[in-house]
Amino acid sequence: MGSVRATKPHAVCVPFPAQGHVTPMMRLAKLLHSRGFHITFVNTEFNHRRLIRSKGLDYIKGLPDFQFEAIPDGLPPSDRDATQHVPSIMDATRKNCLVPFKELVLKLNSSSEVPLVTCIVSDGIMSFAIKAGEELGIPEVQFWTASACGYMGYLNFTELIKRGILPFKDESFKDDGTLDKPINWIPGMKNIRLKDLPTFIRTTDITETMFDFMGSEVQNCLNSSAIIFNTFEEFEHEVLEVILAKFPHVYNIGPLHLLGRHVPESHFMSQDQHLKEFAWGLANSKHIFLWTVRADVVMGDSAILPKEFFEETMDRGLLTSWCPQDKVLAHPSIGVFLTHCGWNSTLESVSASVPIICWPFFAERQTNCRYACTTWEIGVEVNKDVKRHEIEALVKEMMEGEKGHAMRQKAREWKKKAMEAIDFEGSSYKNFERLIKGLSLLVSEESNCLVRKL
């Protein structure tokens, strides 16, 4: 085992405990594993228990060189199937996770059963891992799982304060047109308004957890050895050029779910009324649909869709609580995709050449939506005051009209570019090779790894 400990690279992967973060981190971990890395995948205890219930004990036992560990988040016990309160989990991870994470890494390094930890790959909003790496002398890489344009939006939180835009003086900013104000001073970003920046700017108190957390975590990314982005250069090249000028140790290796094709399988609501309006607009469009409605998003009696909706759509509609989204989108019968504009969903739709109907609510999804509707020209946005007749018209236009046809063509062009990026001669594939080489070099450079940049 001694020779393995000395030569085999060992990456400890730490996702933020939310599904949209865990999924891409798992994809990255599998890619690293396919290139000879020993992987320790670290969930919070809450998510670890959910993983056991979902996959079973055999799954979390992992493989001899792909194992799962857990650390506490410091929060009190909650409903085992609930979605944890986002501000609370953000605050908890930055306050409570450093010590148990360091103890875990020390435990791994004292074990003769696994290789010495050679690098830490943590979510871009889990910067306690940067501090752990510094204190333990282990290189730490940040994985930003959202869009590069979203990252740039967060990076300018401090500038919004310096310019006197934030904090807003009172709540009138929500309705007086303030959010429609164009923002033309953020490098690399065009056609942006205040309302297209991450939603946490909509505050009268800049000490609020989510504004403070996201602004500081994005800045902390710049203290790591490198930043990995799940994007490809042509898709966000203007923003990426600006980020590279600030921090040259960047690896754009997306779309990760496409890059994963190089890995053989053998390696392993206050919106309730709006929901009803959307449902009836969908029904009235008369088109066949698959609608995935997560149980932890739509809760309570008021969110239950009326019996008449199911009667109207029983022969052409299917509602489900989960589906393999990337596989569904890849099916040739899919004409358009309703999405909240999370980054995984956005990349999966682009990779399947499917145009999108954007219905963002939260965080940098507003930024992704704006880019989809303007820069990438693959989407249209749902009016915030949802009306069924507007949804009916929008679905029909996207499925049958000239606008939908044009967006479908644009989506096909982006799919072609995404496939080129992850091909053997593509930019993302080459960046991944460069990342692997940089991480592998760290195995024999432990004495220098505290200061070394990849």
Contact by Cβ (8 Å): 453, 20 = no
- 94-101 long-range contacts, Cβ below 8 Å, gap at least 24? 94/127, 94/128, 94/213, 94/217, 96/72, 97/44, 97/71, 97/72, 97/73, 97/126, 97/128, 98/128, 98/131, 98/132, 100/71, 100/72, 101/14, 101/42, 101/71, 101/128, 101/129, 101/132
Q: Helix (H, G, I), strand (E, B), or coil: what is residue 451?
A: coil
Residue 297 clears pLDDT 70, i.e. is over it: no
Q: What is the dihedral of CA 114, 432, 155, 371, to 10 degrees?
A: -130
Q: Give the model's pLDDT for residue 443.
A: 57
Q: What is the pLDDT of residues 225-253, one digit of tens each?
A: 999 999 999 999 999 999 999 999 999 99
Residue range 10-145+424-451 in CATH 3.40.50.2000: yes
Q: What is the pLDDT of residues 312-354, one digit of tens each?
A: 887 877 776 666 788 888 888 889 999 999 999 999 999 999 9
Domain boundaries, the chain: 10-145+424-451, 274-418
Q: Which residues are catalytic?
A: 21, 123
Residue 6 clears pLDDT 70, i.e. is over it: no
pTM of the model: 0.82
Contact by Cβ (8 Å): 191, 373 = no
Instruction: Give 203-218 as a DSSP string.
Output: -S-TTSHHHHHHHHHH
Of 138-152, 210-224, 380-394, least confident by mean pLDDT is 380-394
- Choose among 121, 124, 180: nearest CA to 152: 124
Of 31-45, 53-67, 363-377, least confident by mean pLDDT is 53-67
Q: What is the pLDDT of residues 192-229, one digit of tens each?
A: 999 999 999 999 999 999 999 999 999 999 999 999 99
What CATH number was assigned to the domain covering residues 274-418?
Answer: 3.40.50.2000
Q: What is the pLDDT of residues 77-86, one digit of tens each?
A: 766 556 678 8
Question: What is the chain's mean pLDDT, rounded?
Answer: 87
- Choose among 359, 346, 349, 362: nearest CA to 394: 359
Q: What is the pLDDT of residues 262-291, one digit of tens each?
A: 776 555 534 476 677 777 777 888 888 777
Are the folds of 10-145+424-451 and 274-418 the same? yes
Residue 1 clears pLDDT 60, i.e. is over it: no
